[in-house]
Structure 1
């Protein structure tokens, strides 16, 4: 069963969450029960596929052993080589998932949510290396974090320290009531986005484009219409799913971070990536871009800080592109956004020196207009229609 894919899924989780809600409104912990229902929901999600179930179990066991082993090692030593090996091992199953389909072997491995569990696992290793995670972690709690069912398939990507704090906190009855109302509100927003707006856009416009079924559209106009409709569909569909995940998480007492914050009102491309798929963009920023820049600065192989920063942007968005898939349109999509970020950074530095672009409501509106169209063209590349 696909998470949040049909009304049956919502009926099941609504019934299973009743004890969670009653315990929360009584000011009591529902931690153990939430772990139990997570197992039940995971069984429902993955139970239809033996291959998927076996892959999930083996993959999770592998990541648990890897994380716990590295944590024990880190208490005694701090070899860079061991750290690199641990990160490579954590990523390796995801690499297989991306590469095997090219070889025609996609049925041998992989399951829904492998990417997001990998991101969490790599995060645990990186933060253990940095000394941010020192305390001994319960295997059950770690597994709960990796397999937290509201976000397991498509995020948002949470951070262990934030998740653990929520997991250990028992909110008062009044505080839980606020969480419950907030969660229900997010779920209703999800229904509006995913099952109404995204549904209408897809079924009444997108399926007819860009092959201009509408007689009054030229082929060029059909592609332009597709570009904008696809962009809105992508937002409402994914933002709707994310709202469901955040809403259910809050009902379970976990304040999973939001993934979208009015991205189409971004005033520039940097602002856009602080609003769009935020948990993913922040993950790549913190664990790829920042580490690459710090590493290159330490090695002093390239002295120009802007060159280092731009190489970091190319690495970040290239990886973000191929994470979606190894097809050309995903690679080009990533590199396109790297070019946008770098171009805007150059413009910002130029304007800081020459002050030709003042900050006022008019330039703000123009910035939103330019960013919106640049982003929509990026989604057009992402859709594969350009190739």
Structure 2
């Protein structure tokens, strides 16, 4: 069930909200149980066969957490290691079994792989529970209520694409009886944020998809202009797809009185690669830092070990996104970027961290080139597309622009029109691509617009007079018009890109 579908908007969400607040008038625990049951239905609606897997994971990790918390000495660490191995083995089977088996096969061997269906959201609910187990080991878990724990893992706004939650920031909210009472401010802000996120997905990201898909097809060999158009389109498609999901998750959660952590903060405005990772998928970056990078030793064992830890963390982070060499290469590229940035800071000192006009465009270029490897179906296609960006496949204009041949001829120009026949350049894609760039680089983000109302757990933005949202007829009409535009464009409903990770 997708956030950008009619069934979710007009059936599921109203029914869940009504049940939640009606039961909240009886007892907050009943409301939490209803929300947990509704979240399990949300997951099972995709494929009910995998609902027992999610329930088994929840029950197993809850029991493991209790056992870890009650143990002492070496037994505590052994129980933690056993529980972590069980989670990682489950993830490895469903997500990486075919990848590792293929990697171990002899070159040229005829093997088509096992027929394993990847359960949606398994990476997110596994990492969420790994963080819970480590917190149990550290003695940081206070609420042991099973209903709250089930809701913490299965909570539908975050279940299939994040954010990766921490136990300590969510459990008090589920236990707070005030959150089970409807509040007009939560509905006003939550619905407004949701509509903004829906527009990012439906009006921007989905419109850019037809520009991006053709150039990433195996054997496409795009020309220079097509390659740049497609790669830029995918860079902004992924940006607004994930930004839209993050906004929609925050807005939906706020309807239930629950505040999710920030997960997206204008990453294309970052002036260096370290800042990019503090802004992109913020909760995953936090998880990789707290539970992997620091666990490997962080920066405590010298400069060489620090660089090795950065590389290992990013390669594993790339592999988390998918079982393929393209994801490994993408993680290695970002690991290399981070190592180069740390070396630059060491060489130039504090002056290197000062704002510079070239920092943001250089960071965006590096991220965009890495997206080529991330999106490509294989490394050969990625290499071909990277070469195309440099003109290796020719520099003629796309066939889709042949309509401008006559005006150019009158000006004395006679360019060639070659390349991909199926690339759509005469629709809304190019204007939306330009608009997307302006919004990503120059416009205030959702948190800045709604800064007065703290839509997230932490208020990290200062008030911005003239930009911030206010409950007013003007804003109401604008958001209503935006919602209607989304509804009329939802005939081409598509999944969120991060669902596959």
State the TM bucket, normalised to the shorter chain: 0.7 to 0.9
> Could you say which structure has the larger radius of gyration?
2
Question: Take 1:172 and 1:36, find their aligned partners in 2: how far apart are those partners?
Answer: 14
Bigger relative contact order, structure 1 or 2 (CA pairs below 8 A, ≥6 apart): 2
| Counterpart-to-counterpart distance in 2, 1:126 and 1:382 | 30
Displacement of 1:158: 1.4
1:334 and 2:331 equivalent? yes
Following superposition of structure 1 onto structure 2, how do residues 213-362 of structure 1 map, counting pairs within 5 Å? Answer: 219-293=223-297, 297=300, 303=301, 305-352=302-349, 355=351, 359=354
Q: Show the counterpart of 1:16.
A: 16
Report what 2:197 is aligned to.
190
- What whole-Å deviation, never above 9, does each CA across 1:133-180 have from its counterpart, x for those lacking one? 2x3601221111111111111111111101012222344899944333
User: What pairs with 1:18-33 in structure 2 (closer than 5 Å)?
Assistant: 18-20=18-20, 30-33=28-31
Asked if structure 2 preserves the Cα contact closer than 8 Å seen for 1:210 and 1:222, the reply is: no
The 5 A counterparts of 1:60-139 are 60-74=58-72, 79-102=76-99, 104-107=113-116, 110-133=118-141, 135=142, 137-139=144-146
Shift of 1:200: 1.1
User: Deviation at 1:93?
Assistant: 0.8
CA distance in 1, matches of 2:267, 2:139: 34
**Alignment partner of 2:295: what SS?**
helix
How many Å separate the matches in 2 of 1:169 and 1:44? 23
Selected match of 2:213 from 200, 207, 210: 207
**1:34: Cα distance to partner?**
4.0
Deviations 1:222-280 (A, max 9, x none): 22222211110011111111211111111112111121101110011010001001111
How many Å separate the matches in 2 of 1:38 and 1:172? 15
Aligned-residue offset at 1:327: 0.9
Matching of residue 150 in structure 1 with residue 149 in structure 2: no
Q: Aligned partners of 2:353 and 2:88: how far apart in 1?
A: 45
The alpha-carbon distance between structure 1 residues 15 and 148, as it changes in their structure 2 partners (threshold 3 A), is same
- Asked whether the equivalents of residues 186 and 257 of structure 2 are also in contact (C-alpha less than 8 Å), the reply is yes
> CA RMSD for the aligned pairs?
2.8
Secondary structure of the corresponding residue to residue 126 of structure 2 = helix
Deviates more, 1:123-132 or 1:193-202: 123-132
SS in 2 for 1:131: coil
Gaps spanning 5+ residues in structure 2: where?
Answer: 102-112, 384-501
Q: Deviation at 1:189?
A: 1.3
Residue pair 2:76, 2:137 contacting (<8 A) in 1 also: no
Deviates more, 1:57-66 or 1:327-336: 57-66
Aligned match of 2:492: none
Contact in 1 for aligned 2:28/2:176 (Cα 8 Å)? no
Displacement of 1:110? 4.6
In the superposition, the TM-score normalised over structure 2's length comes to 0.67
For structure 1, the residue ranges without an aligned partner over 5 or more in a row are 212-216, 298-302
**How many aligned positions are there?**
364
1:369 equivalent to 2:361? Answer yes
Q: Tell me if the contact between 2:36 and 2:150 (Cα under 8 Å) persists in the aligned partners.
A: no
- CA offset at residue 53 of structure 1? 2.3
Choose between structure 1 and 2: higher helix proportion.
1
Select between 342-351 and 63-72 the one with higher mean Cα deviation: 63-72
Per the alignment, residue 382 of structure 2 pairs with 386
CA deviation vs aligned residue, 1:53-78 (integer Å, no higher than 9, x gap)? 2322333222222222222225x765
Distance 2:353 2:303 in 1: 24
**1:137 to 1:276, Cα distance in 2 relative to 1, 3 A:** same
* Compared CA separation, residues 366 and 333, structure 1 to 2 (3 A): same
Alignment-derived partner of residue 214 in structure 1? none
With normalisation by structure 1, the TM-score equals 0.85
